[in-house]
Amino acid sequence: MDWNNKQEVLEKVKIKGWELEFASDKLKSDKEIALIAVKQYGYAFEFISSKLKDDRDIVLEAVKNSYPIIKINRKFRDDKEIMIEALKNDNSLFLVSDRLKDDFDIVIQAIKKDYDSLYYASDRLKDNRKLILEAVKESGYLLKYASCNLRDDKEIVTKAVSNFGRALDYVSERFKDDKKIVLEAIKQDSMALQFASDRLKNDVEIIKIAVEDDLKNFKFAGDKIKEQFPTIEDFYDKKNN
């Protein structure tokens, strides 16, 4: 194998991009070879010449193939196309530019990879109804990061608790006291009972549904229920009589 021979190196890196490491310095500076190598193996980016590490085409192909954001020139963290591709494989929204943390498409892509990425989104997007509605469709857990305003939005709250019951923890006090919302939450996850309002923790219908799913949920029942039914056995005995 002649590592100074362009054609031979091209054929090698088409199959094993990492073998660019063994090419001559001259061929590590060859854009055609570098592109083929990083398309086959993103981490071949490690072996290209320094001057090519600022080449946008090569960076784009590298991140498409899982090369991490943290290792590329910081200037590319403000390049939307590159960041969109990078975030398909890399859960590093915190590394992208502030401008792109305020970009709807970027943030949606990031949360598809890692739900907790929403934490790094701009405050404006955390108050963007369209984005948060899309986010809670992915996982109701993401309501955690929504603005207070959107935690009080009935459609968003309903969607969130319907696929992640314990999102009830993040809804406004108004909806913790909304029987329909609480029922939706405990039907999805009976342990969501712990986040209901005191009034609804004393609602016999709600307690019945929660404990029928898991007897341990009786510990979340309100004081009035426990005064009336000191034990879970009392609750069932009296309810069935």
The secondary structure of 11-54, three-state, reads HHHHHCHHHHHHCCHHHHCCHHHHHHHHHHCHHHHHHCCHHHHH
> CA dihedral defined by 6, 12, 14, 16, rounded to 10 degrees?
-140
Environment class of residue 81 by beta-carbon count within 10 Å: exposed (0-12), middle (13-18) or buried (19+)? Answer: exposed
Q: What is the largest CA-CA distance in the chain?
A: 90
pLDDT less than 50: residues of the chain: 241
How is residue 196 annotated by DSSP?
Answer: S
Q: What is the C-alpha end-to-end distance of the chain, expressed in Å?
A: 88
How confident is the model at residue 15, as a pLDDT?
94
Helix 179-188 vs helix 154-163: angle between axes, to the nearest 10 degrees? 20
How is residue 128 annotated by DSSP?
Answer: -
How confident is the model at residue 238, as a pLDDT?
57
> CA dihedral defined by 229, 230, 236, 239, rounded to 10 degrees?
-10
Which amino acid does the sequence have at 33? I
How confident is the model at residue 19, as a pLDDT?
94
Which amino acid does the sequence have at 147? S
The secondary structure of 93-109, three-state, reads HHHCCCCHHHCHHHHHH
Tokens matching residue 85: 């591709």
- Are 232 and 208 in contact by the 8 Å Cβ rule? The answer is no
* pLDDT tens digit sequence for 63-73: 999 999 999 99
72 CB-near residues (< 8 Å, 6+ apart): 45, 53, 59, 62, 63, 82, 86
Number of residues assigned to the chain: 241
How confident is the model at residue 237, as a pLDDT?
67
How confident is the model at residue 135, as a pLDDT?
93
How far is 39 from 51, CA to CA, in rounded Å? Answer: 18
How far is 120 from 179, CA to CA, in rounded Å? Answer: 33
